[in-house]
């Protein structure tokens, strides 16, 4: 007679051993990830410390000490990177399965399939973000972090550069519409050999229609016998009025929504943080300058003044910050002009505000 009691118990033991093994693999992978994060933070701190020492410079008397320090710090950075790489190579290719992870995966998949489950899924994420869960030290890091972000806005009120946007000037005559006058004035201003902007600026139409257009403006900078592109930007013109500006790196290309390159993709930003921040502040400068210089009777004067203001942005690569007296800080030049219209040297870093 066959006894059925031993079969299920052995299967349960095997399943339990497998579950324990998977849990151990998951815990080990989690510990390795935490060690990698700690190593990465240590490496970042060492790199920033070395970069700060290089920026501070040295005196003629302590050159040898400075050189030895940089060599020592460089070796520490190299060792920290090697340790991080060795630890990262031991991470598993995929996340080890475990019962909690498997349940969470199923919950996430069900939440994207079933509408009722999706609402529960969103509520669980919100609850997990705001849950008052104490760590080993008896603290509540999530709640404290959100309170810090919430109260940060009340600690110091900054004056922003928002300017009320001017409405474009309209006219009933089709032959003398503002858009056509703008394009004609732009061609006369930049295309003329006697114009002061002819050598400094290069303008190209990227899009063109009856009521709007997109123009590319390159600010040229001389360097000895050569000339290079210092800044590259795109202006959107709506009914003869500057509407928007976007910056990209001089070696980057504009993105289009179609293969024929007929419609620009304005949502595609630059890959570099510097030019994304320049886009933000450039639109503030654009609104303030257009509010002052916009003139329907003289579009050529408006275009010239706006171009003159944006050519001053080239100074960010060679002008010291008014606060810290440095050009680079946190790998960023000063990009905030306190008074770009009247004083082109009134420039500071974002972190020095």
Radius of gyration (Cα) for the chain, nearest Å? 30
Confidence of residue 217 (pLDDT cuts 50, 70, 90): very high
pTM (2 decimals)?
0.51
In whole angstroms, give the CA distance from residue 181 to residue 91: 63
User: Measuring CA to CA, how many Å separate 230 from each of 19, 221, 223, 307, 336?
Assistant: 60, 6, 11, 14, 18
Cα angle at 323 between 320 and 325, to 5 degrees?
35
CB 168 within 8 A of CB 240: yes
pLDDT tens by residue, 263-285: 888 888 999 999 999 999 888 88
Confidence of residue 105 (pLDDT cuts 50, 70, 90): confident
Confidence of residue 98 (pLDDT cuts 50, 70, 90): low
The b-or-e profile of 200-229 (16+ CB within 10 A means b, else e) is bbbbeebbeeeebbbbbbbbeeeeeeeeee
Confidence of residue 293 (pLDDT cuts 50, 70, 90): low
Token look-up 């320049």 returns 278
How many other CB atoms are there within 10 angstroms of residue 335's CB atom? 19
pLDDT tens by residue, 120-175: 888 887 777 666 555 555 555 566 666 666 666 554 444 444 444 544 445 444 45
Mean of all residue pLDDT scores within the chain:
78
Confidence of residue 295 (pLDDT cuts 50, 70, 90): low
Confidence of residue 254 (pLDDT cuts 50, 70, 90): very high
- Does pLDDT of 6 surpass 70? no
How many other CB atoms are there within 10 angstroms of residue 238's CB atom? 15
The mean per-residue pLDDT over the stretch 180-200 comes to: 81
Phi, psi of 142 (to 5 degrees): -65, -45
Q: How far is CA 195 from the centre of its chain?
A: 36
In whole angstroms, give the CA distance from residue 120 to residue 113: 12
The mean per-residue pLDDT over the stretch 176-195 comes to: 80
- Does pLDDT of 2 surpass 50? no
Domain map (residue ranges) of the chain: 8-155, 178-317
Q: How many helices (H) and strands (E) does the chain have?
A: 8, 6
């Amino acid at each position: 007679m066959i006894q059925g009691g031993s079969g299920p118990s052995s299967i349960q033991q095997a399943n339990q051993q497998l579950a324990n093994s998977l849990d151990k693999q998951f815990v080990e992978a989690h510990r390795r990830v935490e060690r990698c994060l700690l190593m990465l933070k240590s490496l970042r701190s060492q790199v920033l410390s070395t970069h700060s020492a290089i920026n501070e410079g040295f005196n003629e008397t302590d050159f040898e000490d400075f050189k030895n320090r940089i060599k020592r710090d460089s070796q520490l950075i190299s060792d920290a990177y090697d340790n991080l790489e060795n630890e990262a190579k031991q991470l598993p290719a995929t996340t080890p399965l475990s019962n909690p992870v498997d349940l969470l995966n199923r919950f996430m998949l069900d939440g994207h399939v079933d509408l009722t489950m999706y609402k529960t899924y969103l509520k669980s994420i919100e609850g997990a973000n705001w849950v008052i869960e104490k760590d080993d030290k008896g603290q509540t890091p999530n709640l404290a972090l959100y309170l810090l972000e919430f109260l940060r806005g009340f600690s110091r009120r900054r004056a922003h550069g928002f300017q009320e946007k001017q409405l474009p000037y309209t006219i009933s005559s089709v032959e003398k519409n503002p858009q056509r006058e703008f394009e004609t004035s732009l061609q006369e201003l930049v295309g003329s050999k006697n114009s002061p902007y002819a050598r400094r600026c290069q303008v190209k139409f990227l899009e063109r229609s009856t009521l709007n257009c997109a123009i590319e403006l390159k600010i040229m900078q001389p360097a000895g016998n050569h000339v290079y592109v210092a800044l590259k930007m795109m202006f959107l013109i709506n009914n003869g009025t500057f509407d928007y500006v976007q910056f990209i790196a001089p070696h980057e290309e504009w993105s289009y929504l179609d293969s024929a390159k007929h419609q620009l993709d304005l949502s595609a930003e630059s890959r570099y943080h510097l030019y994304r921040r320049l886009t933000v502040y450039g639109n503030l400068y654009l609104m303030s300058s257009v509010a002052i210089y916009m003139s329907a009777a003289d579009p050529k004067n408006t275009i010239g003044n706006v171009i003159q203001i944006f050519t001053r942005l080239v100074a960010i690569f060679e002008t010291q910050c008014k606060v810290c007296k440095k050009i680079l800080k946190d790998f960023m030049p000063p990009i905030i002009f306190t008074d770009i219209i009247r004083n082109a040297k009134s420039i500071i870093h974002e972190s020095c505000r």
